[in-house]
Amino acid sequence: MCGILAVLGCIDNSQAKRSRIIELSRRLRHRGPDWSGLHCHQNCYLSHQRLAIVDPTSGDQPLYNEDKTVVVTVNGEIYNHKQLREKLNSHQFRTGSDCEVIAHLYEEYGEDFVDMLDGMFSFVLLDTRDKSFIAARDAIGITPLYIGWGLDGSVWFASEMKALSDDCEQFMSFLPGHIYSSKQGALRRWYNPPWYSEKIPSTPYDPKVLREAFEKAFSKPSTGILVLILLAVFKRLMTDVPFGVLLSGGLDSSLVAAVAARQLANSEVACQWGLQLHTFCIGLKGSPDLKAAKEVADYIGTRHHEFHFTVQEGIDALEEVIYHIETYDVTTIRASTPMFLMSRKIKSLGVKMVLSGEGSDEIFGGYLYFHKAPNKEEFHEETCQKIKALHLYDCLRANKSTSAWGLEARVPFLDKEFINIAMSIDPEWKMIRPDLGRIEKWILRNAFDDDKKPYLPKHILYRQKEQFSDGVGYSWIDGLKDHANKQVTDAMLINANFIYPENTPTTKEGYYYRTIFEKFFPKNAARSTVPGGPSVACSTAKAVEWDAAWSENPDPSGRAALGVHASAYEAQKGGIAGKIAIA
């Protein structure tokens, strides 16, 4: 991941202003420690902090068209850049960067080229010929982007809030799948897939199609969902630097690792970095994830790296974590902290890119609360809402926790074509049906249940969903709650609605995180970038209504799915008192 900052149309274009832009851009240097770039054209500034993944020697940014009248600063990866270059054979390219195609696509097609990009990206493009500009964000919001407005009429864009919050009167999260055009002065949606309307699909389930769809997220075009999965992973092996896979031992990360291990032999990167895949896992000693990840790594033959942390080490990192991830959402902070610690360890090994398993739970209804979905209509609508909100939760966590240490995370499950295939399946097939032997994400598990050439051991393939913040060790969340209870008094929580009238925290843990967030980001606009509302096991507020008991225990942990999780909280009068084993 890189860091971008663009300021367009400011009144002041003095040296002092340039120095201020450089100073603010430095706040993003953790995202891109390899090089810094700045282009100034009259009262417009485009800056860039680079993490060099593709073409490290010549791909410094900002990037340009042939005569440098079009300037672009990009954060992300364009996986189909080679195919796009073939369509642009009349253009002269200066670098081997995958992102340079954006400047030339704009020359060729104007503003209507964004849907041609296959990748994860946020970019700002300036046309110096008429001083117009556009900014766009990828379909799901895998890469972060914020938009802000200065009192002088300037428009700002930044990869992280910390680069613009001090200098903008108002700012907000830039919506995924949208483009901003200075000519229109507004955002418009460029990403319009069939599932976005939330209309109930009716395509029958075909396990081969699903498996090929995921494999395609790694590689070249084909048909079928199984191939799409394979290719989704393969195309994300586009790199000129050392890489690996984040492996928790759960279904999603295990499938990514298993597919990547198989695809590696056929990829160009094998010539540079060898045939053995590196995998990484973190947890408290004895945690469920460590055990499962080691078993998967041994089974698929990776070089596995296991990291440990203590509850105290996690607590000590909380302030730094919240500064980097820019949220006070409880679930996100719980999961981001071990990911943040692991990313530092990974970067110390010389690795700059990792594959990760985010997105599958939203697409397939993998969270345990989906067991209580009353019908396929509400099941499907919930998955749509979850995908649309990914940029505020798991995408934000995966990107910012890793980027804090100059590490890039790529997410094959959020491949555009794979999402379209998976979301076109009749949701009846995604419903959890114990009477038919179907657990959560059964259609994905079944697609990879290959007796002849198994991807994973059966008990891993059918392991119950474990949220990352739980899987690293149950005492992690329990320790966070105990720590927060010592920092926040009963009186403080009772009066929380007066101190924090917007998104009022309802638990001491939530209150504690909010105080840290407000210290770094005190403006009203900052707190409005964080979603709110009740949640059980990562549900939307609406899905809490699926079970009356959940309203008594609105905790985002998977263990709050009472009667579903094998180590669920025990609901007793006065709150959560312990755990019970479900037979």
Cα torsion angle, 374, 376, 379, 385, sign = negative
Task: Give me the helices (H) in 267-393, please.
Answer: 269-273, 288-300, 311-325, 330-348, 360-364, 376-388
- Rg value, the chain, Cα: 23
Q: Which residues fall in the annotated binding site? A: 98, 246, 282, 356-357
Query: Does the N-terminal peptide bond of residue 62 adopt cis geometry, omega within 30 degrees of 0?
Result: yes
**Known binding positions for ATP:** 246, 282, 356-357
Rounded distance between C-alpha atoms, residue 422 and residue 444, angstroms: 9
Q: Which is it for strands 303-308 and 119-127: parallel, antiparallel or unpaired?
A: unpaired
Task: Single out the residue of 170, 255, 165 nearest to residue 218, CA to CA.
Answer: 255
Location of structure tokens 């209504």 = 545
Q: Which H or E element spans position 157?
A: strand 155-158
- H or E element: which one contains 403? helix 394-403
Rounded CA separation 337/323 (Å): 11
Contact 398, 404 (CB under 8 A): no
Contact between 288 and 294 under an 8 Å Cβ cutoff? The reply is no
Distance CA 27, CA 475 (A): 34
Per the DSSP assignment, residues forming a β-bridge with 125 are 72, 134
203 DSSP assignment:
B
Are the beta carbons of 550 and 560 closer than 8 angstroms?
Answer: yes
Using a CB cutoff of 8 Å and minimum separation of 24, what contacts does 229-233 make? 229/255, 229/259, 229/412, 229/418, 229/447, 230/259, 230/262, 230/263, 232/412, 232/413, 232/415, 232/417, 232/418, 233/259, 233/260, 233/263, 233/355, 233/412
Catalytic residue among 2, 10, 168, 538: 2
Give the length of the chain: 583
Among 263, 342, 246, 347, CA closest to 297: 246
CA distances from 232 to 139, 142, 240, 271 (A): 15, 15, 18, 20
Measured CA angle at 143 (ends 140, 144), to 5 deg? 105
Instruction: Report the alpha-carbon distance of residue 148 to residue 166 in Å, rounded.
Output: 10
Structural contact between residues 226 and 210, judged by C-beta atoms closer than 8 angstroms:
yes
C-alpha distances in angstroms, 165 versus 20, 80, 338? 13, 34, 27
Q: Are 413 and 232 in contact (CB under 8 A)?
A: yes
147-164 core/surface letters (b: 16 or more CB in 10 A; e: else): bbbbeeebbbbbbbbbbb
- Tell me, yes or no, if 2 is annotated catalytic: yes
The kind and range of the H/E element at 76 are strand 70-78
| Active-site residue set | 2
